[in-house]
C-alpha cells in the first residue's frame, strides 16, 4: 500500500513537516529545562511536538561568545536521541559568526535539526551561511532564517527559493524598529501586529514566499508571555488568517497554547480520517463522502490536516495512526 506522502505530492506542499512550535532559550539553566520539557512532552504525546532552538545571538554574553557556543554544542550532543534541537548563531556580519558555525555545526551537526541565522538581508547572506556549513563539514544541515527588515521582506521570495533554506521566521520587533518611528510602538503588541498594514503585509509576504517554494513560515514571538489568551489568539490568527504553520515560543507557558491553537479540531480530524481512509480503500480514485466529491486535490488537503494533528499531539484513529508508525510497524497498512 502506497503511503499518502508518496501519493499526494504537490508543488504547493511544504517539502518538510516541522513541529508547529519552535521554543527559544539561551540561558544555561533555561536551555537545560527546555530540553527536559521537550523529552517529557515527547513521552506524553508520543511524538516530539516542539523544537528547542538554543540561542547564541541573545543568549551569549558579550565577550563570552566562544564559551556559549561550546555550551550549546555540549547540550546538543547530550540531548536525548529523539530530541529535536537547533541553534541560533550570530548574524553573518558578526565577528563570532564563523566561530559559531565552526564550533557548533562542526561538532554537533549530526545531532542538530537546523541552524537559525538571524538578520538575513539577502540571498548573499544565505550563501555565506551555507558556505560556513560546508566548511564545517555540515553538508546537509538545513538553514532557518530570520527576516527582520523591510528590505529583507522585499527579497523574501528569492530567499525562500534557496534550496538550503527550510523555514523563514519574521522578526517583528526589529522590523518595526527599522521604520524609524513610522510604525507606532503598538505595532509590536498583540493587537497592532495583526492590524497595522505594514506589519500585516510583511507577514503575508513571508508566508506567501514560503508556500510558493515549499518552505515553512514561522510566526514571530508574542512578548506578553504571561497572557496565555494572547498567545492563543495570536497563534490562531497566524495559522487561520495568515497561513503560518509554525510559531516561536519564548516561555514554556506559551508552548501548549501554541500547540492547541494550531491543532485541528476533533471534528476536522474525524472528517479528514474518514476521507483519507476511504481514499485508501479506493486506491486513491475519486470518492463521494457526505454528498461531496473528493479526489487527490482534496485528499492532499485532508492528509496535511492529519499531519498537523500528529505534529500537535492530537489523538488519531488507530487506522490513521498507522501512517505515522515507524517503518516495520506499519506493515499492516496494506492488510
For the chain, give the percent of residues with pLDDT over 70.
Answer: 95
- What is the predicted pLDDT for the residue at 327? 58
93-115: per-residue pLDDT in tens? Answer: 999 999 999 999 999 999 999 99
Q: Tell me the mean pLDDT in the region 253-258.
A: 95
Q: Tell me the mean pLDDT in the region 281-300.
A: 93
304-331: per-residue pLDDT in tens? Answer: 899 889 888 899 999 999 998 865 444 4
Predicted TM-score of the model (pTM): 0.89
Nearest-10 crossing angle of helices 28-45, 65-78: 20
Q: Tell me the mean pLDDT in the region 230-241.
A: 94
Amino acid at each position: 500500500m502506497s503511503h499518502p506522502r508518496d501519493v499526494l505530492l504537490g508543488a504547493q506542499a511544504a517539502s518538510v513537516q516541522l513541529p508547529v512550535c519552535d521554543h527559544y532559550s539561551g540561558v544555561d539553566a533555561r536551555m537545560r529545562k527546555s530540553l527536559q520539557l521537550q523529552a517529557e512532552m515527547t513521552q506524553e504525546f508520543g511524538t516530539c511536538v516542539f523544537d528547542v532552538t538554543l540561542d547564541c545571538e541573545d543568549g551569549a554574553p558579550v565577550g563570552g561568545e566562544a564559551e556559549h557556543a561550546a555550551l550549546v554544542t555540549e547540550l546538543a550532543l547530550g540531548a536525548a536521541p529523539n530530541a529535536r534541537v537547533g541553534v541560533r548563531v550570530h548574524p553573518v556580519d558578526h565577528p563570532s559568526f564563523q566561530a559559531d558555525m565552526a564550533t557548533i555545526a562542526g561538532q554537533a551537526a549530526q545531532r542538530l535539526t537546523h541552524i537559525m541565522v538571524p538578520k538575513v538581508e539577502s540571498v548573499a547572506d544565505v550563501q555565506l551561511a551555507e558556505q560556513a556549513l560546508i566548511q564545517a563539514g555540515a553538508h546537509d544541515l538545513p538553514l532557518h532564517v530570520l527576516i527582520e527588515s523591510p528590505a529583507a521582506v522585499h527579497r523574501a521570495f528569492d530567499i525562500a527559493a534557496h534550496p538550503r533554506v527550510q523555514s523563514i521566521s519574521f522578526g517583528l520587533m526589529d522590523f518595526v524598529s527599522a521604520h524609524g518611528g513610522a510604525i507606532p510602538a503598538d505595532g509590536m503588541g498583540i493587537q497592532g501586529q495583526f492590524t497595522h498594514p505594514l506589519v500585516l503585509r510583511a507577514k503575508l509576504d513571508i508566508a506567501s514566499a514560503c508556500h510558493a517554494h515549499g518552505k515553512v513560515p514561522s510566526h514571530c514571538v508574542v512578548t506578553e508571555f504571561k497572557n496565555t489568551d494572547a498567545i492563543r489568539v495570536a497563534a490562531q490568527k497566524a495559522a487561520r488568517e495568515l497561513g503560518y504553520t509554525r510559531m516561536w515560543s519564548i516561555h514554556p507557558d506559551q508552548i501548549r497554547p501554541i500547540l492547541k491553537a494550531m491543532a485541528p479540531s476533533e471534528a476536522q480530524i474525524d472528517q479528514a480520517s474518514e476521507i483519507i481512509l476511504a481514499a485508501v480503500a479506493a486506491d486513491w480514485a475519486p470518492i463521494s463522502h457526505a454528498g461531496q466529491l473528493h479526489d487527490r486535490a482534496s485528499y492532499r488537503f485532508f492528509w496535511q490536516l492529519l499531519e498537523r494533528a500528529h505534529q500537535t499531539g492530537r489523538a488519531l484513529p488507530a487506522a490513521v495512526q498507522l501512517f505515522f508508525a515507524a517503518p516495520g510497524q506499519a506493515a499492516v497498512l496494506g492488510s
